[in-house]
A and B are shown apart, each in its own frame.
Chain A
Amino acid sequence: MPKRFVSIWFKYLLTDREAIRLHSLRELPVAFTEPDHGRMLVMAMNAQAEQYGVKPGIAAADARVLAPGIQLFENKPGRNIKLLKGLAEWCLRYTPLVMVDPPDGLLLDVTGCTHLKGGETEFLKDMVSRLHALGYTIRPSMADTIGCAWAVARCAESGLIVPVGGQRNALMPLPPGSLRLGLDLLIKLRELGFYQVGSFIHMPKSVLKRRFGGNMVLRLYQALGQEAEFLLPLKEPVPYSERVALLEPIRTREVIETTVHALIDTLCKRLYGEGLGLRSAVLTYCRIDGKSGQLSIGTNHPSQPTDHIFKLFALQFDQVAPGLGIELFILDAPKTEPASDKQNLLWNGKPAVDSEQVAELLDNVAARVGKDQTHRYLPQEHHWPERAAGNTADLTQTPESDWPEESIRPVQLLEPPEPIEAMALTPDYAPRQFVYRHERHIIVNADDPERISHEWWIEDGGYRDYYVAEDEEGMRYWLFGTPNDLPGQTRRWFIHGYFP
């Protein structure tokens, strides 16, 4: 199948955008200016200004004289790229492969897409009328190569659809400027009397290369389709993507739910057929006013049950703002993994940590409270209390070592340890009493200290002498004192946890 590309030229991109914003500007000459060497020069204008003879490159003062009542706006750099990106996203409804073509165009790879609108002519007509409804004047062109489509969109009088293989004929009458060449090269061509591409297209490649350099040959042959040219899509196309375009825009929650459910079902069936499961999914909705929004979900294990995925999306449906109506849903699955088709055993009791039920529960929880809120701990070979348990998000991971059992640890741990005022009678004994949060605790029983040193290979620091202490009322605390055996050091006391 021959490739087909569409190049869209937004001739009045900036002024059209301004007219969409302010309706009163539609009938007035409008121009955008840009500072250059201390002057303001016109860099873009609309059709009305053009009729008065305003051209890019003339001074703003001259434009004011030429077109009385002209509205001048200062251009912000990068504004056109921003606009084009928005329009490129809008164009995703026609094809997944869209590229921004600065300064004022878009490139679309429409190979195999045109029949959806009923043919190439209808395809372009639909595009023109829809963009016109939005307020943009465009000139699209379709051809086998990017270069040819670009040239025809900008320079041809008629024949915006170049038939398959007709690049040479289409390019012949066009000026050399249609080949995307540099300004110096264009001046050189003009001086030599080449006013049309046709006048040098027949020259041997070696001659052209010697006279005008490799770049010109590359551009010419790219337009003719003899050199490859690639399109860098705005968005990486996702291999697993489903879309549903609606005849009538929808607004109500019930209809949106039904539509999304059907869409998820299609994707899930496809994934199931290929033995894959979904790890993350993005649902994009496009509204008829050109705005769009996204919902995204992630799952803990590769899954394809439609209802589960739907439930995850349903938790976020409140964020969908349908406005005047939604006309297109796109569901992408950027991350998929092979799913193991586990058989559900009926009689093996409760499922394990990595079972599907638990994973689905955690998906729901993550969708509501955030992804990083679920923790599972595995033993770590560290004796420093704060590092003894390592956090893992992976449900399938099993402990590499056993949980330590010999040392007694508090059920409740204070992070970080809180300072207490303690009084010990003798240096190496547990305190007799301590004050924590304005409450005095008199210690009646205490275990011998357990000295825990800092893990010097991770962090410098002294040791802690931990005491299990019980007060008069039977409450048990985990207290520790900082080192006191170096000169000039006084022991400070901390409470680090509660025992059951």
Chain B
Amino acid sequence: MTATKQEMIDKLRQDLLGWEGFRPVAPEERQSFGLGPIENAFPNQVFPTGALHEFISTRPEFTAAIGGFIAGIIQTLLAKGGVCVWVSYTRRIYPPALKRFGINPDRIIFVDVVREKDVLWVTEEALKCNGIAAVICETRLLSFMESRRLQLAIEQSQVTGFILRKDVKVLNTTACTARWTVKPLRSKLRPGMPGVGFPRWQVELLKVKNGQPGSWAMEWKDRQFTQVVEEVMTEKAQRYA
């Protein structure tokens, strides 16, 4: 009896996922984004494509880190071909830098709108277009209603959307599948080596639908993500002399 109860609950959970817009991923379509432990935090242990990801940034330095992190994810999305649309209001992204994250910058179409309110309009149009691999939207404000609209557009087209929210003052509820923050961490080279090492970030999943939020230290090395296993800090931070 208990077994059937458990089965029923599992079945119900699976159904709920479907109703909420998660489609079970066929094994052959399953893509790994190389995110390692982070992927386990998501339902079905797979990074949700065709979903809306919200990244919170409070400083320009964080925005740069998020830019790198998103670029690392898009690398996999663009591997099958396609283009990516980057919508922004005041853009600072420097296209040649994206090459380091495995993206050919000519595969990205940048839309720089003059009025801030057009950002979300363009994003929605782009998300409706199922010929696009991913849409990145740099915005400041995103209300619940607006995020719902984007989510509905995504459910039709299965495009992956990344919302990069800059200068966030107040965190409001949104309909996004996941909410992230990415903060830069001190890079580390082998002991005794001077200079700046590989990009290293503290990636935090603040919210994830039907998943487990968590926090991980990641590094971008040789065109892929690697988890940083932090050895115990014994020596003081080496001051640059």
Residues of A within 8 A of B (CB): 348-353, 355, 357-358, 360-362, 364-365, 368-370, 373-379, 385, 388-389, 395, 398-399, 403-405, 408-415, 430, 432, 443-448, 468-470, 472-477, 497-500
Nearest CB to that of A403 among chain B residues? B99
Contact of B125 among A355, A361, A405, A497 (CB under 8 A): A361
A475 contacts B184, CB within 8 Å? yes
B63 contacts A498, CB within 8 Å? yes
Docked CA distance A365–B200 (Å) = 36
Instruction: Tell me how far the C-beta of A472 lies from the nearest C-beta in chain B, rounded to whole angstroms.
Output: 7
B100 contacts A409, CB within 8 Å? yes
Docked CA distance A408–B199 (Å) = 11
Interchain pairs with CB closer than 8 A, number: 200
Known: A349-B80, A349-B81, A399-B104. A500 touches B64 (CB 8 A): yes
B131 contacts A389, CB within 8 Å? no
B122 contacts A365, CB within 8 Å? yes
Nearest CB to that of B87 among chain A residues? A365
Nearest CB to that of B118 among chain A residues? A369
Selected interface stretch from B2-10, B39-47, B89-97, B146-154: B89-97
User: Is B60 part of the contact surface with A, judged by Cβ < 8 Å?
Assistant: yes
B106 contacts A353, CB within 8 Å? yes
Contact with A along B179-215 (1 / 0, CB 8 A): 0000111110000001111011100000000000000
Instruction: Tell me how far the C-beta of A344 lies from the nearest C-beta in chain B, rounded to whole angstroms.
Output: 10
Docked CA distance A475–B62 (Å) = 8
Residues of B within 8 A of A (CB): 59-61, 63-69, 71, 80-83, 85, 92-100, 104-115, 118, 121-122, 125-126, 129-133, 183-187, 194-197, 199-201, 220, 237-240
Known: A358-B129, A413-B92, A468-B196. A408 touches B82 (CB 8 A): no
B195 contacts A350, CB within 8 Å? no
Chain A to chain B: the 5 pairs with minimum beta-carbon distance, closest first: A500-B68, A350-B82, A357-B131, A498-B64, A413-B94
A470 contacts B186, CB within 8 Å? yes
Docked CA distance A169–B59 (Å) = 88
From A470, A473, A497, name the one whose CB has the most chain B CB atoms within 10 angstroms. A470
Contact of A447 among B110, B115, B118, B195 (CB under 8 A): B195
Docked CA distance A443–B238 (Å) = 11
A410: chain B residues at CB < 8 Å are 64, 94, 97
A500 contacts B125, CB within 8 Å? no
Contact of B195 among A395, A446, A498 (CB under 8 A): A446
B199 contacts A351, CB within 8 Å? no
Docked CA distance A281–B144 (Å) = 38
Contact of A412 among B67, B83, B96, B111 (CB under 8 A): B67
